A and B are shown apart, each in its own frame.
Chain A
Amino acid sequence: MNVLVLLDHGDGRLRPTALELLTLARDLPDARVHAVWVGADPAEEVRAQVGAHGGHALHHVLVDGADDRLTASVVDALEAVRAEVDAPLLLVASTFEGKEVAARLAVRTGAGVVTGAGGLERDADGRSVATKTVLAGTWTTRCAVTGPFGVVALAPNSVQAAPLAQPAPAEVVEHRVEASAAARAVTVHSREPRPTSDRPALAEAEVVVVGGRGVEGDFTAVEELADVLGGAVGATRVATDEGWIGHEAQVGQTGVTISPRLYVGAGVSGAVHHRGGMAASVTVVAVNSDPDAPIFEFADYGVVGDLNEVLPALSEQIRRRRG
């Protein structure tokens, strides 16, 4: 079975989620993985990385006549690959961009779409069935693609990316497509990269330390713990609205949806809007001075205490333990 994987990339390099998608795809039964790179040249190592993670082919698609990062252009590119590779399944990252690609492609092809998937299997009838956490983590569903073609948008950290023991290089297939009218209709006047930090990207990080109103404007202890754990810094909407940290750090239903292996919430009450964006976290640790804070209802490890005492001690002791 052919499986298409849309590669998320920036600055010519693969994003970590791309390797997760490849790993998941190649582990499906009888999978032959076709990775799709839309846009200008991938860096030298991309072909090897795709091969190492089980990619059989790397389809490199250039889009003429429109900006190649517009959703409509990406869909044009995927359609060009699909014309040559008959596949019942496409995997994309469950970002806003990935979901929009899924939506447009579904209109063009009749595909069934599942977003925010935390896992994926093929059932006895050969259907793609995804599991996902919904309603702010209170329910878990299994969604089946009932038509012949499905697009599944996978949440980051749903699988651990792993290279194969005996990888083969991916075969590179070049494509060139003419952008559709929908893509050509949009003009890009400017595009400035948002400021990045040395920390991992929030959406993809394996560890996220989140500060809420309880930090009272001072993110130092949160940042220190994030750095000790090699993680990203997140925030509640209250903290971003107060201007204590940039909006890009907002975790929640209308911010970034995260699914790290470890979530630490400090001075975070656990409101439903926030929970909706972090409920898929594997391990949840909460430090909050209010024993009745809702976050303790879904934390694996809760400390009822003052974050100004607990966080610095935690950073210090982890550092010491590592020597």
Chain B
Amino acid sequence: MRVVVCVKHVPDIQSARSFREDGLLARGGEDDTLNELDEDALEAALRLVEAHPVAEGAEPHEVVALTVGPAAAVEALRRGLAMGATSAVHVRDDAVAGSDAIATARVLAAAVRHVHAERPVDAVVAGMAGLDGLTSLVPAALAALLDWPQLTLADRITVEDGTVRVRRETSTDVEELSAPAPAVLSVTDQAFRARFPDFKGILAARKKPVEVLALADLGVDPATVGLGGSAARVVEAVPTPERAGRVLVTGGAETVPALVDYLAQKGFA
């Protein structure tokens, strides 16, 4: 079985994040890190292959970590390799900078096709959201671009006889869906608590192959990505002003009448 996992390198959400003058998120800081939610995607992929012992003489399973991002994004791949991914693909091209989620998905789709052409892929697994933009657009866009079935927000995954089956919770229902492989999945953060890479894993990761590709290697027209290839853009970004007229009181039940007045004034009491 071969599973590609999409991992993104993002600014640490505990750090002071900001936008640049041109409306793009400031990236490339010291604190940038693997998107936490993609650790769950890696974990899901690793568990999936581990659930299928490799038959005698059969080809070994592969988990391929894939990222689209600047040079520093290799750190996200290294983390994935340390967790147990077997190889990695890094699409790195200056023309990609400024891509929105849909343009990013175009590059990811081309990279998945590139892998698939050489070594057939059974599934692509993504995280439920990038903790930077929190758009949750990429997995569905990727499925549409590849024209592979979409099975998103899974919390249970099995692959049997070429069929991918998932359990998922929507805002209103619990569903079980299946589709023929290859399919595009995303996973929630509920069911795949990620393993911690051990020292051996970290050492091994240094020796695992990372294939670096440019847009030209993938046949992606640079005009379809980056700012020019994105149909939406940030035109203004400002730090949110502090909430005005804030009140802070200390005490117990005796503080409540004033709070009730406050709520009444806002129309809630």
Contacts and interface: CB of A to CB of B under 8 A. Distances in A.
Contacts of A95: 171
A96 B189 CA distance: 14
Nearest to B171: A95
A305 B246 contact: no
B150 A72 contact: yes
Contacts of A110: 231
A192 B19 contact: no
Nearest to B145: A107
A112 B231 contact: yes
Interface of chain A, main secondary structure: mixed
Most chain B CB within 10 A, of A106, A261, A304, A313, is at A106
A182 B149 contact: yes
Interface residues of B, number: 81
Contacts of B147: 181-182
Nearest to B237: A141
Contacts of A261: 268
A106 B141 contact: yes
Contacts of A137: 240
Given A113-B101, A247-B190, A133 B143 contact: no
B269 interface: yes
B165 to A, nearest CB: 8
B269 A150 contact: no
B116 interface: no
A207 B171 contact: no
Interface residues of A, number: 91
Contact of A254 (B37, B151, B234, B260): B37
A207 B177 contact: no
Contacts of B239: 138-140
B17 A141 contact: no
A197 interface: no
B231 A187 contact: no
Contacts of A133: 240
Interface stretch (A32-40, A55-63, A314-322): A314-322
B49 to A, nearest CB: 23
B133 interface: yes
Contacts of A273: 13
Interface string A59-79: 000000000001110010000
B260 A321 contact: yes
A224 B20 CA distance: 45
A229 B264 CA distance: 11
Interface in B232-257: 232-240, 242-243, 245-253, 255-257
Interface string B102-143: 100100000000000000000000001101011111111101
A185 interface: yes
A310 B175 CA distance: 40
Interface string A283-294: 111000001000
B253 A310 contact: yes
A284 B243 contact: yes
Nearest to A298: B243
B100 interface: yes
Given A103-B137, A194-B172, A144 B232 contact: yes
Given A107-B141, A129-B235, A314-B260, A253 B129 contact: yes
Given A139-B239, A302-B247, A99 B252 contact: no
A112 B144 contact: no
Contacts of A188: 175-177
B264 A314 contact: no
Contacts of B250: 291, 303-305
B179 interface: yes
Interface in A96-130: 96-97, 99-104, 106-108, 110-116, 129
A107 B104 CA distance: 11
Given A115-B137, A182-B147, A139 B247 contact: no
Contacts of B141: 103-104, 106-107
Contacts of B137: 99-100, 102-103, 106, 113, 115
A313 B170 CA distance: 36
A113 B260 contact: no
B231 A322 contact: no
B263 interface: yes
A96 B186 CA distance: 12
Contacts of A129: 235
A232 interface: no
A301 B173 contact: no
Contacts of B136: 96, 99-100, 115
B13 A301 contact: no
A322 B267 CA distance: 12
B27 to A, nearest CB: 13
Kindly name the residue among A75, A256, A262, A279 whose own CB sees the greatest number of chain B CB atoms within 10 A.
A262
Q: List 4 A-B pairs, minimum CB-CB distance, nearest first.
A: A112-B231, A112-B232, A147-B231, A103-B140
Given A75-B144, A305-B250, A321-B269, 7 more contacts: A97-B171, A104-B143, A188-B176, A194-B172, A254-B129, A300-B245, A309-B253
5 contacts: A106-B137, A113-B231, A137-B240, A299-B246, A300-B246
